[in-house]
Amino acid sequence: MVEAVGLNVFKFPARMIPGCDLLTDSGTTTMTMRQWSQLLLGDESYGSNEGYFEFKEQVVETFGPQWENRDKNFENVFLFHQGRAAEAGLFTCLGRILKSSRAPYYFIPSNGHFDTTQANIEANGFEARNLFCKEALAKDQQARFKGNMDVAGLEALLDDPKMRERIPLVYLTVTNNTGGGQPVSLENIRKVSELSHSYGIPLMFDACRFAENAWFIQQFEPGYADKSISEVVRLMFEQVDGFHISLKKDGLVNIGGALVVKENGFLNKNYPELQGALTGHQVLVEGHPTYGGLAGRDLKGAVEGLKTVVSHGFLDYRISQVQRFGAWVDEACGADVVVKPVGGHAIYLDLDKFFAGTGLADGQFPGISLTALMLVAGHRCCELGIYSFGRNVDGKEIPPDPRVNNVRAAVPRLCYEDIDLRAAAEAFGVLYQQRGRIPGIEVIYGQELPMRHFISRFRFKR
């Protein structure tokens, strides 16, 4: 079957996976009893359903009073069916406002854009630029906040007027998925915010895993040990002018997304046309803005999810399980192959370490081989490296710069027992012991397509 789906893990039937499905932590959450009870209370009215109002209230409750929608002529919560739809909404509208098609003139700096964010930015004529911090680039195994943005790099860009005028907004992804699920410190958030705001440039969060990020701040950043997760979350969100979120992660639901704009923030100030443009876009692609492509019950589930996710007990259990999983994989491999420190939602195996000494070249995409063989062993994970982040232009491979080369095993929330994850760790161990026998692959379809890892087909080189 693995060969029948062209070694593409996304195309493998989920019901045929006997072990752990670690493809993603997105939308794979097991919802709580309280969430299910809310689903039953869903109000499925076409316009202004109950969940919409409750969601807006919960945004204020979770992220802080600055997110209240006081001006009734202004909408600040834009619902979408998932995170990338919110990204598409933002960048489509911003692209039109800035007439970015003569591009790429404008660019969006980030601590690490996720692939869909990057794709949406590029599809609308902007350039996506990652400013990974030096600890991340140096693969420092000790640094606690490897998701940080390189502040000096941002400063150099913003201090140069010719560069500055090309930056419509700055992004921070919390936690930094592309950089290995690593957290961003409050100190870094504050510095990036001060710097961007000193030039009147809006700062946005890609807030998919905001609660997990807050947990790391509480645990490891000096000065926050006595703050609750909710308090840390509010401190984080004081610093930004807007955020988009895929509720499929820390919203603890199976579908949903939103773009939220701070009424008094720079995003609203700099782009007053944005609100109208977003509403128009929602009507065109999602439905009435008060349901934004979601069932009323989905919104109720998300409201309950946003309440649960900031509980310390939940986060402690969730993140410590991911940390244990990382330790088991290293133990099973008898080697230091997992990216350290382990992030909040997934473990990342460093392919450069895993395949060191095997002679497999980048162009043989050994990460794809590893994920295909993990499927044979009964578990699903995905490559996030040379294939997923690289591109092929006119037959020439362009690797991601800076280099990212991992296989990710993401842990769904409230889904697996430790013993399940131990089995997946053992499978990695067996493949590591046999790594000298793992063949490379060749791409038989889709090498030059955008977001190619989702659709490509491969076969083992014999």
Query: Which residue ranges make up the site for ligand F0G (CB under 6 A)?
Result: 24, 26, 82-84, 114, 116-117, 173, 177, 206, 208, 246, 248, 257, 410
Q: How far is the CB of 170 from ligand F0G (least distance, A)?
A: 16
CB of 183 to ligand F0G, least distance (A): 13
Looking at the Cβ atoms of 201 and 208, the one nearer to ligand F0G is: 208
| Rounded CA separation 413/25 (Å) | 7
Q: Give min distance, CB of 119 to ligand F0G, in A.
A: 10
Q: How far is the CB of 302 from ligand F0G (least distance, A)?
A: 12
* CA dist., res. 380 & res. 157, Å (int): 40
The residue among 204 and 443 lying less far from ligand F0G, judged by its C-beta, is: 204
Question: Min. distance of Cβ 95 from ligand F0G in angstroms?
Answer: 18
Cβ contact 362:354 at 8 Å? no
Q: Which is nearer to ligand F0G, 177 or 239 (CB)?
A: 177
In the bound complex, what is the minimum distance in angstroms from residue 160's beta carbon to ligand F0G?
Answer: 28
Task: Specify whether the CB–CB gap between 332 and 338 falls below 8 A.
Answer: no
Count Cα atoms within 13 angstroms, Cβ side, for 200: 7
Residue nearest to ligand F0G (CB): 83
DSSP letter (8 states) at residue 244 = E
If the CB atoms of residues 84 and 281 are measured against ligand F0G, the closer one turns out to be 84
Residues in the chain, how many? 462
* Encoded tokens for 227: 């703050």
d(CA 24, CA 178): 13
Distance of CA 181 to the CA centre of its chain: 8
User: Coil, strand, or helix at residue 438?
Assistant: coil
Cβ-based nearer residue to ligand F0G, 206 or 350: 206
Q: Which residues pair with 108 in a beta bridge?
A: 128
List Cα–Cα distances, 434 to 171, 199, 336, 379, in angstroms.
Answer: 41, 54, 16, 17
- Residues linked to residue 171 through DSSP beta bridges, in sequence order: 110, 204
What 8-state DSSP symbol labels residue 101?
G
The least distance separating ligand F0G from the CB of residue 411, rounded to whole angstroms, comes to: 11
Between 83 and 242, CB nearer to ligand F0G: 83
